[in-house]
Amino acid sequence: MPWDKLANADIAFTFGDVILLPGKTEVEPAEVDLSTSIGEIRLHTPILSSPMDTVTEEEMAVAIARMGGLGVIHRNCTVGEQVRMVKAVKRAESFIIRDVVTVSPADSVEKAKSIMKDMKISGLPVVVDGKLKGIITRRDVYFAEDSGLKVEDVMTKDVITVNPDITPQDARKIMSKYKIEKLPVVDEEGHLVGLITAKDVFYRESHPFATRDSEGRLRVAAAISPFDIDRAKALEPYVDLLVTDVAHFHNENVISATRRISAEVDVPLIVGNIGTYEAAEEVLTRLDVVGLRVGIASGSICTTGEVTGVAAPTLYAVAKVSEAVAKYGSNVAVIADGGVRGPAEAAKSFAAGADAVMLGFALAGTKESPGSPLIVGGKMYKVYRGMGSPSARSRRFVLDRYSRPSKDIAEGIEGLVPYRGDATTVIDKFVAGLKAAFGYVGAANIHDMKAKARMALVSPIGTREIAPHDVKPMDRLPHI
Ligand code: XMP
C-alpha cells in the first residue's frame, strides 16, 4: 500500500546524523590495533584507496601499501596500461627480485651502461647459460673510459652470493659486513635465481607494517568491470585482489557476469557497490567473495542520489550489509565506500560493522594522486572527479559502471580539492584521528569497536554545536 511505504519508511542514517558516544576506556589511542583482514590478506591499516583515475595509479598504490593499506588501481584506461601499473607496484619492492636483468661477459660495457640507465638500476649480474659469473655495478662502468671494454674486463668476479632460503635479517647482516648493495641468489648448481638489493632490505625495515605478499612485494588490487573477462584474465597473474567497479551490483546481469569471472579467474574478489541487506544476502549466497564495497551515492563526487532519487548512504548500507554478513556467518569484509571524509566517518563505519574503509576524496589532492597541482587564486589544488562525471566518461572505459538507461546520464562531478602534500602524512593523521576515536569509545580493535560502540542521533541544529562554532577560525594567531 502506498501509505505504508511512507508510514513504515526505513531511516537512512547518514554519517552526519549520528555521533559515537564515549564509553569507559582502558585503552590509550597509541595502543589501538587497527589491523583487519580481507580474505587471506592482512592489512595493518584498514584503508583502501578508491579505483578512480584521480586517486589510484601506481604511485598511490605503492604509498598506501607501504602504510599498511591497499591501493585499487582504476580501470579507466586500456588493459595494457592497467597491467603495467599493477606490475610497477609489484616491482617497487621485493625481498628477492625474480625477473633479474642480466648481461653476459662478452657484452660491451656500453651496453651494460645503457641497460642500467634505461631500467634505472645500479647493477647487473653477469651470467653464462644461467650460471653466475660476476656482477657489474654502476661504479665499475663509471670508471671504464675505454669504449672497447667488455663486461668481463671490469666486472667483479668474486661475488658474494646467498641461497634461496636466506632470511631478510641474514641478508642485511651480509650486506652490512661486506658493504655491498647487491646480493645475487644462486641455487646449488650456481644458477642465478634472484637478486636482493639493499634498497629493498632497508625499505622493509623502514616499513615493517607494509602490506606485502609472500615474496615481500607490495600488494595491489585492481578494478574490473564484471563484463570484461579479458581484463580480469590479463591482471590475474600479477594482482592480489580484483574489485568490481559497478555503481549497482545488485543486478542480475552483473551478478551472472561476475559468477563467470569468479569461475575462470583465480584471484580473490571484492564486489560492489551494494547498499541493502537483500543485495548482501544475494551476493553471500551466490558468489564466493572476500569483500563487499558498500554504499551507494554518498561519495563526495556522486550525483546519483540527486539525479535519480536513489541512494543507500554508506552508514545505513554498512549496518544493513553487516547484518547479512553476521546472519550468514561469513567472514567477508565489509568495506565502507563513499563519504568517508576523515576519521570521524571511518570510526562511525567501524561502529556500524565495517572492516575497512575506501577513500576517494580523502586521498585525492595528495602528491601521489594522479595529475599535477593547479594554482587557483594563489592556492594549490588538484582535480578530483567521479567516475561517472562527463570527463571521466569521455574516456569510455567506465561507461559500464552504470546500468544501460543511465549510460547517457552523468552520475558524478569534477572539481578541485586542496593540495594536501604527501599521502603518507595524510594517512598518518587519519590513523591518529581514528585511534583517538577508538580510545573514546574504549575499543582496542575493530572487533571491539563493532561490539562496544553506541551511537546517538543528533539534530541538524545540534550538529553545529559539535563542530567549532561562534569563533572565526584562524590558521595562525597573530603575534601579540
Ligand atoms: P569519496 O566520498 O571518498 O567517495 O570521494 C568515493 C567513492 O565514490 C564512488 N564513486 C562514484 N559514485 N558517481 C557516483 O555515484 C561517480 O561518478 C562516482 N565515482 C566514484 C566510488 O564508490 C568511490 O569509491
Select from 236, 238, 240, 248 the least CA-distant residue to 272: 248
Please state, in angstroms and rounded to a whole number, the distance separating the CA atoms of residues 144 and 154. Answer: 7
Closest ligand 1 atom to Cα of 303: 15
44/410: higher pLDDT: 44
Q: Which residues pair with 380 in a beta bridge?
A: 375
Question: pLDDT tens for residues 232-257?
Answer: 999 999 999 999 999 999 999 999 99
Residues ≥6 apart with Cβ < 8 Å to 271: 243, 244, 249, 258, 283, 287, 289, 291, 292, 293
Q: What is the Å distance from ligand 1's center to 360 Cα?
A: 7
Does position 478 have pLDDT exceeding 70, yes or no? no
Residue 415 grid coordinates? 572539481
Residue nearest to atom 15 of ligand 1 (CA): 302
Q: What is the Å distance from ligand 1's center to 306 Cα?
A: 13
Mean pLDDT in the chain? 93
Q: Which domains does the chain have, with CATH numbers?
A: 2-93+210-475 (3.20.20.70), 109-197 (3.10.580.10)
Q: What is the Å distance from ligand 1's center to 106 Cα?
A: 55
Please state, in angstroms and rounded to a whole number, the distance separating the CA atoms of residues 342 and 428. Answer: 12
Q: What percent of the chain has pLDDT over 70?
A: 98
- What mean pLDDT comes out for the span 219-234? 97
143: exposed, middle or buried (C-beta count within 10 Å: 0-12, 13-18, 19+)? Answer: exposed
Residue 376 Cα distances to 283, 380, 391, 418, 419, angstroms: 45, 6, 20, 10, 11
Is 77 in the active site?
no
Lowest model confidence (mean pLDDT) among 21-25, 85-89, 444-448, 465-469:
465-469
Is 212 in the active site?
no
Residue nearest to atom 24 of ligand 1 (CA): 50
Beta strands in 120-279 (DSSP E): 123-128, 131-137, 182-186, 192-197, 221-224, 241-244, 269-274
pLDDT of res. 144: 72
Among candidate residues 217, 231, 302, 420, the one labeled active-site is 302
Q: What is the Å distance from ligand 1's center to 317 Cα?
A: 15
Residue nearest to atom 14 of ligand 1 (CA): 302
Q: What is the Å distance from ligand 1's center to 336 Cα?
A: 11
Ligand 1 proximal residues by C-beta, below 6 Å? 50, 52, 247, 273, 297, 299-302, 304, 337-340, 358-361, 386-389, 411-412
- Give the dihedral of Cα atoms 99, 105, 110, 114; nearest 10 deg: 0
Q: What percent of the chain has pLDDT over 90?
A: 78
pLDDT of res. 141: 82
Going by pLDDT thresholds of 50, 70 and 90, the confidence category of residue 479 is low
Question: pLDDT tens for residues 114-140?
Answer: 899 888 888 899 999 999 999 999 888
Going by pLDDT thresholds of 50, 70 and 90, the confidence category of residue 400 is confident
Does position 331 have pLDDT exceeding 80, yes or no? yes
